[in-house]
Amino acid sequence: MNRRIFLATAAAGAATALCGANDRLRIALVGLRGRGRDHIKGFGPMPGVEIAVACDVDEAILATRLDDIEKLTGRRPKGEIEYRRVLEDKSIDAVVIGTQNHQHTLQTVWACQAGKDVLVEKPCSHNIFEARQIVAAARKYRRMVQHGTQTRSAAAVREGIEQLRKGAIGDVYMARGLCFNFRDTIGRAQPEAIPAGVHYDQWIGPAPLKPFTKNRFHYNWHWQWDYGNGDIGNQGVHEMDVARWGLGVKYPTRVSAMGGHFLFDDDQETPNTLSAQFEFDEGGAKKFLTFEVRHWITNVEAGMGGQAGVSAVGNVFFGRNGFMVREKLGYKTFLGKEHQPGPAATSQENHFENFVTAVRSRRPEDLNAEIEEGAITCTLIHLANISYRLGRSLRFDSKTMTCPGDAEANALFTRSYRAPYVVPEAV
């Protein structure tokens, strides 16, 4: 780690350490099974922060996590099943949302309406309509809302983006996002009784009420359109976000995606193999982004793949004078036809600390992943999924936020919401 990255990381930690016991930030953790464990480990020992409430609709998981928090912090938070009861607690300053994709926007909007700041995990929206509403709510209620794309809080990656801006590899014209993860078949699951202690109606939330199966519940919900967005909307959010960030673009003018569900005969609805292309034309500067999702065995690409044959996840940026590889929380550059090593760095990320620091400053620009950036990235993901589902290319107009003249595509920008879990329209 070079000196500048070390100082940036240390400064973020010092800012958090300034929060004393008399200025304690009381937070609620919502959704505790997967990413929620990282929330506990991250916020639990943080100076000036108290995990005051933990909430989950699965009573068994809630009980386990309450024990985990007490063991880590010496303090047992209040346990809640009902999310809206958490928001009624006026002593809660912020909520950290680690629930399913299809709950993220509504739970964030409700939190903003209740005067809470929010860290919401990726993707912040389940569809394009929600991507607009989550930003509108943050603005309307003047809340600090951070998106869970924590790569933006890695000092080395931020340095890498700065190197791209400075021309380290020349004019950047193309980015590639890779999401090659080893994921086995989920098999087929028959409807069964709802497990004891699972509050399934709340878990389903805005989605259609369907019979309970294991493949519509813990983690496998990622591969069902009602709740998830496939791996491009799961692991892929991080790579899409960095690709767009490095290119310096927002919305595409054209999107095309194709792929399918290969190798396995199972309950997965989303594609396990996908290739998407995005064209950008912002101010006459044309740029191109490609994104690939692949399950099962893979090769090592552009030096990526710490576990050869298992995963290759990251980005490659192509410029006039070379290329840059971003893998995990670092970057490397290769210059000229001979691929001579150029600037490189690695670091850790401090995303949770950044959120706390920004909540205290009340300056949205202090958030490394302010919600609008997350919403733009999620819009690209949703456009790719719509293109795949329709089997054709899309034209997109960022001024109207529509696919002009394409009623079939525009209909997939939103969903039918199950009352009372309805995302309110603010824009």
pLDDT digits (tens, 9 = 90+) for 219-238: 999 999 999 999 999 999 99
Please state the rounded mean pLDDT for residues 159-178. 98
φ, ψ dihedrals at 329, nearest 5°: -115, 35
Q: Are 241 and 371 in contact (CB under 8 A)?
A: no
Q: What's residue 303's pLDDT?
A: 85
Q: Specify the amino acid at residue 47.
A: P
Q: Are 256 and 277 in contact (CB under 8 A)?
A: yes
Please state the rounded mean pLDDT for residues 7-21. 41
Please state the rounded mean pLDDT for residues 58-67. 98
Beta strands in 32-167 (DSSP E): 49-55, 78-80, 94-97, 117-120, 145-147
Residue 12 pLDDT > 60 = no
SS3 label, residue 180: strand
pLDDT digits (tens, 9 = 90+) for 364-404: 999 999 999 999 999 999 999 999 999 999 999 999 999 99
In the chain the first and final C-alpha atoms are separated, in Å, by 44
As a CATH number, domain 3-151 is 3.40.50.720
DSSP state of 195: P
**Bond from prior residue into 123 cis (ω within 30 degrees of 0):** yes
How many CB atoms are closer than 10 A to CB 154?
Answer: 26
**Choice between 215 and 426, residue whose per-residue pLDDT is larger:** 215
Q: Quote the radius of gyration of the chain (alpha carbons, Å).
A: 21
Angle between helices 128-140 and 101-113 (to 10 degrees): 20
**Bond from prior residue into 420 cis (ω within 30 degrees of 0):** yes
Strand partners, 119: 96, 146
Tokens of 30: 């919502």
Measured CA distances, 369 to 46, 352, 354 (Å)? 20, 11, 9
Of the ranges 2-11, 144-153, 276-285, which one carries the lowest mean pLDDT score?
Answer: 2-11
Which residue ranges does the chain devote to CATH 3.40.50.720? 3-151
DSSP state of 425: P
Please state the rounded mean pLDDT for residues 125-151. 98
**Residue 145: pLDDT band by 50, 70, 90 thresholds?**
very high
Is 155-345+371-411 a CATH 3.40.50.20 domain? no
**Residue 22: pLDDT band by 50, 70, 90 thresholds?**
low
Tokens of 413: 């920008």
**Residue 300: pLDDT band by 50, 70, 90 thresholds?**
confident
**Residue 305: pLDDT band by 50, 70, 90 thresholds?**
confident
Measured CA distances, 17 to 7, 264, 268, 357 (Å)? 15, 50, 45, 10
Query: Which runs of consecutive H residues, i.e. helices, occur in 226-276?
Result: 236-247
Q: Determine the Cα–Cα distance for residues 357 and 132; give it in Å rounded to an integer.
A: 25
- Return mean pLDDT, the chain: 94
**Residue 254: pLDDT band by 50, 70, 90 thresholds?**
very high
Residue 309 pLDDT > 90 = no
| Angle, CA of 207, 225 and 422, to the nearest 5° | 25
Report the percent of the chain where pLDDT is more than 70: 94
Q: What's residue 306's pLDDT?
A: 61
pLDDT digits (tens, 9 = 90+) for 325-367: 999 999 999 999 999 999 999 999 999 999 999 999 999 999 9
Q: Specify the amino acid at residue 40.
A: I
Q: What's residue 282's pLDDT?
A: 84
Residue 127, burial from CB neighbour count under 10 angstroms (0-12, 13-18, 19+): buried
**Residue 71: pLDDT band by 50, 70, 90 thresholds?**
very high
SS3 label, residue 75: coil
Q: What's residue 13's pLDDT?
A: 43
Which residue ranges does the chain devote to CATH 3.30.360.10? 155-345+371-411
Q: Are 110 and 138 in contact (CB under 8 A)?
A: no
**Residue 308: pLDDT band by 50, 70, 90 thresholds?**
low
